[in-house]
């Protein structure tokens, strides 16, 4: 039976309930094992030496003195990770980022590493590695990096996407453009225009668990890696490529993961740990410090964005443009392009144009952060939309409803939408009691919308029916926030059995086929698709087994409510066979029963959200308090509503931190000034109110149960929602994120004149 | 440096170990005693993932020296359940989905336990300020606060 992924099911028994998660007890008793909670016999401790310079040529590295330290078993530099990337620029960037080759490109860039019998010896050895640097001029600001006289990071970067191709190298790696219609004509037709420039600071995903791994290379050419990652299959591929290992010989096990949000989708130090292990001939444990996490992993782009939107008196937008400049760290990627694609995705626009510029700077290599690139674009666009509504004299929600994208809209980035949720989230916002609740002095209310694509991708799942009729579900997508519970619900639903009878585990790379990583909100979407498909395959087999048990043709057997049933009246006396009945006989009817599925989960439905936020701005200090917060988002179908709410709340909280506080601060020397949780302050419990959520369910037509990804969209609207609220509370339009107290005070002072 | 011999009580059991003078209690728990339920998120006292209770007070074990445990009584997450019986806070955290990734959970449970021992009926604000030293990046704290409120209710013998 081929797998039919179209939306079919409306009535659910398990899906939509809120059972206890299978890994709950392990996690509340301290038994769950995360990246740093694993050890191997004979294991060494690794430490990484990092560049103190933002930009410097590495003239010479001498490791002799370090190697002589008692207890040191291996020292590695770029020489121990030879370039096997064969012209693959993306892979080379990963390699160069793991261990600087000719130049250190940011403060914190790894230049060497040590494995020793204990931390003391490793730290001592780090101090004795002699690195001769030739310090070069650096640039960390996105606009400064685009200036003609900016220090150029990479002589081989010539802006792509412009004709004619430039003949001088620059920091602008590429230009991307999206849109349709005639924006000039559109602005001509406008009665009102808002035009403004915005900036956003660079933030970090801020997962509480630092990167950690244990690497073990054996003399027989096999290797093992235990690691906290969002995608162990991808890590396996990257590490094998960089170390010249055969993929099958490297077994990667994903530990429990203490948060990732996109930051654990890229290898950082794992190839270095493997190289150390290979050289030392012993297992190596490498755990980053918090400072290293900030200086050398993660962050998102810093941006500078110009937006122009025009509308007629009646509130219809006639034209919209945005120019978006995104930092990517020292290596180009597609961050600006994603920003340019998402910026106007919420709206139905006749004339729209967005242009993205990918800019390299002396900051850490940018990694995905929850709906990567979308929050900054949404901040700029949704701020301008609000300002425009105000100018026209329309209510902010009504203005958005009038211009919202709907089924059949040609999106600003190209595709035509199917059934989507932006309109319904806006209608829900309009009707929400939060919208009409009274405000006190110095308080203001703001709202904003957000969009994210969601991804599907390659997925492989095994579903084993055990002899006692219970089910073991092996998935290859790492569980970052409760997906084992959701996938168990899905298996129970499809098989017609109890949730308690399903146990979902995350399989390692040696025991399951390839899976893309848990990113793009794909974990539950894609693995549920593969689980449904695997369950249907298992049901097929169970029908055949029932046919053998009853000795009747399989065509006369159908599956219903977890039972094989004989069709028609001629078998009237045959009592239905449960999964347990069939499993108990499996040894006599052909052996173990299992369903497998390998698929590319296409059709991840796009996702929309609307957030409402009340803030109170203290005019004396410029500090902002979140008074009330509501998230409204389309989930397609919420498989486990508690964890859907959790995604909504977590994304909102991260957005609040980004909006008000979080920011990488660089000194004039290009060094990161705040690489710790004290100075890079993420929201704490006393900073936040309860975060209300409303789940809408507009089924995704491309998923059997209508599921859409839910993990990312919730971080898209907060920046703008809060900026709009601050503007309504304090009467100043904040165009620079984070809206820290000094920035708000300065804006208040400016407004007074 | 010469190692220091320490006799202490951990989760009610007598424990002896040797540690270096500059070694933190967190490292002793995790690396010497195998009590890896206590987590390290920062090592600088800013995240609370390493929270333990020392003589009835919540401390960041990354800021306490292993040697300072001499003669004290330490409680870690491994000692929170009574055998197979979870502490009400542990149960409520699971019931309320108050954990996503769970790395912060041991720290929150330890801190919340100390709170409810001191204040059986805390207000939401008291809970939020008490737990302000524990960072969670996943949940936005909403479900954590609700789980603590519900556990407090149950521990006071009130119906939910
Ligand atoms: S590890 Fe001790 S407070 Fe973060
Ligand atoms: S649940 Fe992940 S940090 Fe709290």
Dump pLDDT digits (tens) for A678-706.
999 999 999 999 999 999 999 999 999 99
> What rounded mean pLDDT belongs to chain B?
97
CB contact under 8 A, A24 and B103: no
Kindly indicate whether the ipTM for this predicted assembly is greater than 0.85, answering yes or no.
Answer: yes
Domain residue extents for chain B: 4-76, 88-155
Q: Sheet of A563-566: strands edge to edge?
A: A557-560, A563-566, A577-578
Q: Do A361 and A324 meet the contact criterion of CB atoms below 8 Å apart?
A: no
CA of B29 to the centre of ligand 1 (A): 13
For residues A21-44, average pLDDT:
97
> Out of A208, A290, A686, whose CB is closest to B104?
A208
In chain A, % of residues over pLDDT 90: 92
CB contact under 8 A, A652 and B136: no
For residues A453-459, average pLDDT:
86
pLDDT band at residue A573 using 50, 70 and 90 as cut-offs = confident
This prediction's pTM:
0.97
Q: Which of B47, B76, B137 to mutate to test the pocket of ligand 1 (most atoms within 8 A of CB)?
A: B47
Q: Which of B136, B140, B142 to mutate to test the pocket of ligand 2 (most atoms within 8 A of CB)?
A: B136
Q: B-chain residues within 8 Å CB-CB of A23?
A: 102
Q: What local confidence, expressed as pLDDT, does residue A603 receive?
A: 79
SS3 A571: coil
Fold of B88-155: DNA polymerase; domain 1 (1.10.150)
CB contact under 8 A, A682 and B137: yes
Q: What local confidence, expressed as pLDDT, does residue B160 receive?
A: 60
Q: Sheet of A607-617: strands edge to edge?
A: A443-452, A607-617, A624-634, A691-696
Q: Which residues line ligand 2 (CB under 6 A)?
A: A 208, 259; B 99-104, 136-139
Q: What local confidence, expressed as pLDDT, does residue A10 receive?
A: 85
CA of B75 to the centre of ligand 2 (A): 21
- Residue A616 confidence (pLDDT) above 80: yes
- Residue A457 confidence (pLDDT) above 90: no
Q: What is the pLDDT of residues A135-187, one digit of tens each?
A: 999 999 999 999 999 999 999 999 999 999 999 999 999 999 999 999 999 99
Listed in sequence order, the residues at least 6 apart from A43 whose beta carbon sits closer than 8 Å to its beta carbon are: A214, A282, A283, A284, A285
CB contact under 8 A, A688 and B140: yes
Q: What is the pLDDT of residues A276-310, one digit of tens each?
A: 999 999 999 999 999 999 999 989 999 999 999 99
What is the nearest CA distance from A23 to chain B, expressed in angstroms?
9
What is the nearest CA distance from A255 to chain B, expressed in angstroms?
11
For residues A566-573, average pLDDT:
85
> What rounded mean pLDDT belongs to chain A?
96
Domain B4-76 matching CATH 2.40.50.100: the answer reads no
Q: What is the pLDDT of residues A109-123, one digit of tens each?
A: 999 999 999 999 999
Residue bearing the CA closest to ligand 2, atom 4: B136
Q: What local confidence, expressed as pLDDT, does residue A199 receive?
A: 98
- Residue A518 confidence (pLDDT) above 90: no
Q: What local confidence, expressed as pLDDT, does residue A272 receive?
A: 98
SS3 A104: strand
Q: Do B100 and A480 meet the contact criterion of CB atoms below 8 Å apart?
A: yes
Q: Which residues line ligand 1 (CB under 6 A)?
A: B 40-43, 45-50, 60, 62
Q: Which residue does chain B place closest to A652, by CA atoms?
A: B140
Rounded-to-integer distance, Cα B72 and Cα A29, Å:
22
CB contact under 8 A, A207 and B101: yes
Rounded-to-integer distance, Cα B70 and Cα B59, Å:
15
Rounded-to-integer distance, Cα A666 and Cα A366, Å:
16
Q: Does A457 touch chain B (CB under 8 A)?
A: no
From the list B82, B60, B138, B95, the residue with the least C-alpha distance to A715 is: B138
From the list A403, A406, A397, A407, the residue with the least C-alpha distance to A427 is: A397
Q: Does A675 touch chain B (CB under 8 A)?
A: no
From the list A602, A701, A716, the residue with the least C-alpha distance to A656 is: A716
The widest CA-to-CA distance across chain A, in whole angstroms, is 91
Q: Where are the beta strands (DSSP E) in A515-672?
A: 557-560, 563-566, 577-578, 593-601, 607-617, 624-634
Token pair in block for residue A401: 């409803």
Token pair in block for residue A122: 């490793």
**Is omega for the bond preceding B115 within 30 degrees of 0, making it cis?**
no
Spell A315-337 as b/e; 16+ CB within 10 A means b.
Answer: bbbbbbbbbbbbbbbbbbbbbbb
Q: Does A713 touch chain B (CB under 8 A)?
A: no
Backbone dihedral region for residue B140 (phi beyond 0: left; psi -120 to 50: alpha; all else: beta): left
CA of A652 to the centre of ligand 2 (A): 14
Listed in sequence order, the residues at least 6 apart from B34 whose beta carbon sits closer than 8 Å to its beta carbon are: none
For residues A500-518, average pLDDT:
92
pLDDT band at residue B1 using 50, 70 and 90 as cut-offs = low
From the list A712, A737, A722, A641, the residue with the least C-alpha distance to A687 is: A722
- Residue A425 confidence (pLDDT) above 50: yes
The count of residues in chain B is 160
Instruction: Sort strands A303-311 and A284-287 into parallel, antiparallel or unpaired.
Output: unpaired
Q: Does A678 touch chain B (CB under 8 A)?
A: yes
Q: B-chain residues within 8 Å CB-CB of A205?
A: 137
Q: What is the pLDDT of residues A319-372, one digit of tens each?
A: 999 999 999 999 999 999 999 999 999 999 999 999 999 999 999 999 999 999
What is the nearest CA distance from B112 to chain A, expressed in angstroms?
12
CA of B100 to the centre of ligand 2 (A): 6
Q: What are phi and psi of A277, to 5 degrees?
A: -65, -40
pLDDT band at residue A1 using 50, 70 and 90 as cut-offs = very low
Residue that has been written with the tokens 């101090």 in this structure: A127
Separation of CA A264 from chain center: 9
Q: What is the pLDDT of residues A581-600, one digit of tens each?
A: 999 999 999 999 999 999 99
Helix or strand run (H / E) with residue A643: helix A641-660
Token pair in block for residue A187: 């602005």
List domains and CATH numbers for chain A.
6-32+456-601 (3.30.365.10), 35-136+210-257+264-296 (3.90.1170.50), 303-454+605-752 (3.30.365.10)
């Amino acid at each position: 039976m081929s797998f039919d992924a179209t939306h079919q099911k409306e009535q659910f028994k398990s899906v939509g309930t809120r059972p206890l998660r299978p890994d709950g007890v392990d996690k509340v008793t301290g038994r769950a094992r995360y990246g740093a909670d694993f050890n191997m016999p004979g294991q060494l401790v690794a430490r990484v030496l990092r560049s103190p310079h933002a930009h410097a040529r590495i003239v010479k590295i001498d490791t002799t003195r370090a190697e002589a330290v008692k207890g040191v078993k291996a020292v590695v530099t770029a020489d121990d990770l030879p370039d096997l990337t064969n012209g693959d620029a993306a892979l080379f960037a990963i390699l160069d980022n793991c261990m600087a080759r000719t130049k250190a490109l940011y403060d914190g860039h790894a230049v060497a590493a040590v494995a020793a019998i204990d931390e003391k010896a490793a730290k001592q050895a780090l101090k004795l590695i002699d690195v001769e640097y030739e310090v070069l001029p650096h640039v960390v600001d996105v606009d400064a990096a685009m200036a003609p006289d900016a220090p150029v990071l990479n002589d081989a970067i010539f802006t792509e996407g412009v004709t004619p191709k430039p003949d001088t190298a620059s920091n602008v790696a590429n230009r991307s453009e999206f849109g349709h219609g005639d924006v000039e004509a559109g602005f001509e037709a406008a009665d009102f225009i808002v035009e403004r420039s915005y900036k956003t600071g660079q933030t970090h995903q801020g997962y509480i668990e630092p990167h950690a791994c244990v690497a073990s290379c054996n003399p027989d050419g096999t290797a093992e890696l235990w690691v906290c990652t969002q995608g162990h299959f991808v890590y396996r591929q990257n590490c094998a490529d960089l170390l010249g290992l055969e993929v099958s010989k490297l077994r990667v096990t994903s530990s429990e993961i203490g948060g990732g949000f996109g930051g654990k989708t890229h290898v950082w130090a794992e190839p270095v740990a493997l190289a150390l292990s290979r050289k030392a001939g012993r297992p190596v444990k490498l755990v980053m410090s918090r400072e290293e996490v900030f200086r050398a992993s993660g962050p998102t782009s810093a941006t500078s964005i110009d937006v122009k939107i025009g509308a007629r008196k009646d509130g219809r937008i006639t034209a919209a443009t945005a120019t978006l400049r995104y930092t990517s760290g020292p290596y180009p990627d597609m961050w600006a392009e994603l920003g340019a694609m998402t910026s106007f995705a919420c709206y139905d626009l006749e004339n729209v144009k967005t242009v993205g510029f990918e800019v390299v700077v002396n900051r850490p290599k940018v990694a995905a952060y929850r709906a990567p690139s979308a929050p900054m674009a949404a901040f700029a666009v949704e701020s301008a939309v609000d300002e425009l509504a105000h100018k026209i004299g329309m209510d902010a929600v009504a203005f958005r409803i009038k211009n919202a994208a709907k089924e059949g809209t040609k999106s600003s980035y190209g595709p035509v939408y199917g059934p989507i949720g932006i309109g319904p989230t806006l209608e829900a916002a309009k009707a929400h009691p939060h919208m009409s609740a009274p405000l006190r002095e110095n308080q203001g209310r703001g709202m904003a919308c957000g969009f994210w694509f969601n991804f599907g991708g390659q997925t492989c799942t095994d579903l084993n029916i055990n002899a006692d009729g219970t089910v073991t579900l092996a998935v290859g997508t790492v569980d970052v926030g409760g997906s084992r519970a959701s996938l168990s619900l899905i298996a129970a639903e499809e098989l017609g059995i109890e949730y308690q009878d399903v146990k979902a585990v995350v399989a390692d790379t040696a025991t399951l086929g390839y899976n893309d990583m848990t990113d793009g909100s794909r974990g539950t979407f894609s693995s549920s698709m593969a689980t449904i498909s695997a369950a249907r395959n298992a049901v097929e087999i169970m029908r055949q087994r029932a046919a053998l048990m009853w000795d009747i043709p399989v065509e006369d057997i159908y599956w219903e409510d977890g039972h094989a049933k004989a069709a028609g009246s001629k078998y009237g006396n045959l009592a239905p066979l449960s999964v347990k009945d069939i499993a108990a006989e499996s040894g006599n009817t052909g052996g173990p029963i299992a369903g497998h599925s390998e698929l590319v989960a296409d059709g991840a439905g796009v996702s929309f959200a609307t957030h409402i936020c009340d803030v109170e701005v203290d005019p004396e200090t410029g500090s902002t308090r979140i008074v009330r917060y509501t998230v409204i988002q389309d989930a397609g179908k919420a498989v486990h509503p508690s964890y859907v709410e959790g995604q909504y709340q977590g994304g909102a909280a991260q957005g609040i931190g980004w909006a008000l506080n979080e920011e990488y601060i660089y000194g004039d020397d290009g060094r990161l000034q705040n690489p710790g949780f004290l100075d890079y302050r993420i929201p704490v419990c006393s900073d936040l109110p309860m975060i209300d959520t409303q789940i809408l369910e507009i089924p995704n037509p491309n998923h059997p149960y209508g599921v859409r990804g839910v993990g990312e969209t919730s971080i898209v609207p907060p920046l703008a929602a809060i900026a709009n609220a601050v503007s309504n509370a304090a009467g100043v339009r904040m165009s620079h994120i984070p809206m820290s107290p000094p920035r708000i005070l300065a804006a208040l002072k400016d407004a007074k004149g | 440096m010469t190692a220091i011999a320490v006799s202490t009580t951990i989760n009610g059991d007598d424990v002896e170990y040797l540690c270096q003078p500059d070694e933190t209690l967190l490292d002793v728990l995790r690396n010497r005693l195998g009590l890896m339920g206590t987590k390290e998120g920062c090592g600088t006292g800013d995240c609370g993932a390493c929270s333990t209770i020392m003589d009835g007070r919540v401390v960041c074990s990354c800021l306490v020296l292993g040697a300072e445990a001499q003669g004290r009584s330490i409680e870690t997450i491994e000692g929170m359940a009574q055998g197979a019986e979870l502490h009400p806070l542990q149960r409520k955290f699971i019931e309320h989905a108050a954990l996503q990734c769970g790395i912060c959970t041991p720290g929150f449970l330890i801190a919340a336990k100390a709170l409810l021992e001191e204040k059986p009926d805390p207000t939401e604000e008291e809970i939020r300020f008490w737990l302000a030293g524990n960072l969670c990046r996943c949940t936005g704290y909403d479900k954590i606060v609700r789980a603590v409120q519900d556990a407090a209710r149950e521990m006071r013998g009130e119906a939910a």
